[in-house]
Structure 1
């Protein structure tokens, strides 16, 4: 998801997306521990996505 798309989402949608991405990250880490993933870069991509969403939430919180 691009930054432009993240800015178009509401706060509620951002929070849901953040929770969902965190669950995906924990599942990916667990699966990678058990047996190596075909593409371990997925973990990095999900971490970056979490950071983007969290940053947008923080900016909106500080704006109010």
Structure 2
């Protein structure tokens, strides 16, 4: 799935402010609750979805 398709899909699910990264294979966006996410396509095959705000919270707990 190509990044623009992913961006459109999450947009329909209520995500906004999609930003394409400098490589064209990374993007981030904010959802309706101001949670930040990042998608990275590695070597065109791997898809990684990370909630940056959740990661920060986990780092604070540990």
More helix by share: 1
Same fold (TM over 0.5): no
More strand by share: 2
Q: Which has the higher contact order (CA 8 A, sep 6+)?
A: 1
**TM-score for both structures, normalised by structure 2:** 0.30
